[in-house]
Amino acid sequence: MFFLAPAISNYWVMNLVVFAVLFPAGFATGRKVSFPFWISAVLLLVSGIIGLNAQIPVNSQLIIESYLGVMTGLTIGVVVSRLCWPRLPQKVTHKKLVGYFAAAERVLRETSSGRAEQLSTEITLTPMEALPYVRVMGVDRRLRTEQTKVMALLPVLISLSVDLNSLVTLKMNVPVRSVDVVLRPSFDGMDESFRRLLRLFREFLEMGRPLPGIDSLNEAGQGLKESLRQILGAERSQQAPATKIAGVLTPVSRYLATAEAFAECTALISTLDREEFTSDNVL
Q: 220, exposed or middle or buried, with CB in 10 Å at 0-12, 13-18, 19+?
A: buried
Region of poorest pLDDT, from 104-108, 111-115, 126-130, 202-206: 111-115
pLDDT digits (tens, 9 = 90+) for 8-19: 555 556 666 666
Question: 240: helix, coil or strand?
Answer: coil
Average pLDDT, the chain: 75
Check whether 136 has a pLDDT greater than 60: yes
What is the pTM for the complete model shown?
A: 0.69
Dist CA 25 CA 80 (whole Å): 12
pLDDT at 168: 85
* HSE (side-chain half, CA atoms, 13 Å) at 45: 8
245/264: higher pLDDT: 264
Per-residue pLDDT for 240 more than 80?
no
Q: What angle do CA 179, 180, 185 make, to 5 degrees?
A: 115
Encoded amino acid at 178, one letter: S
Q: At what angle do helices 242-269 and 178-207 cross, to 10 degrees?
A: 10
pLDDT surpasses 80 at 58: no
Q: Is 208 left (phi over 0), alpha (psi -120 to 50) or beta?
A: left
Q: pLDDT of 143-175, one tens digit each?
A: 888 889 999 999 999 999 999 998 888 777 665
pLDDT tens profile 47-57: 666 555 556 66
Domains and CATH numbers, the chain: 2-84 (no CATH), 89-278 (1.20.58)
Residue-level pLDDT at 156: 93
Q: What is the pLDDT of residue 243?
A: 55
- Three-class SS of residue 279? coil
Closest-CA residue to 160 (of 268, 260, 272): 260
Q: What is the pLDDT of residue 237?
A: 44
Report in angstroms the alpha-carbon separations of 236 from 83, 197, 244, 248.
68, 35, 11, 12
Residues 106, 116 contacting (CB under 8 angstroms): no
Calpha distance 167→160 (Å, rounded): 11
**What is the Cβ-side half-sphere exposure of residue 235, based on CA atoms within 13 angstroms?**
19
In whole angstroms, give the CA distance from residue 170 to residue 166. Answer: 6
CA distance 272 to 153: 10
Select, from the ranges 145-159, 228-242, 247-261, the one with the highest average predicted confidence (pLDDT): 145-159
**Three-class DSSP category at 94:** helix
Looking at residue 273, the DSSP 8-state letter turns out to be: -
Q: Average of pLDDT values for 223-243?
A: 61
More confident residue, 20 or 7: 20
- pLDDT, residue 100, reads 94
Q: Kindly list the distances between the CA atom of residue 202 and the CA atoms of 132, 184, 196, 209, in Å, as whole numbers in the listed order.
A: 21, 27, 10, 9
Query: How many other CB atoms sit within 10 Å of the CB of residue 196?
Result: 15
Task: Spell out the residues 6+ positions from residue 101 whose beta carbon is closer than 8 angstroms to its own.
Answer: 198, 199, 201, 202, 205
pLDDT for 150 equals 92
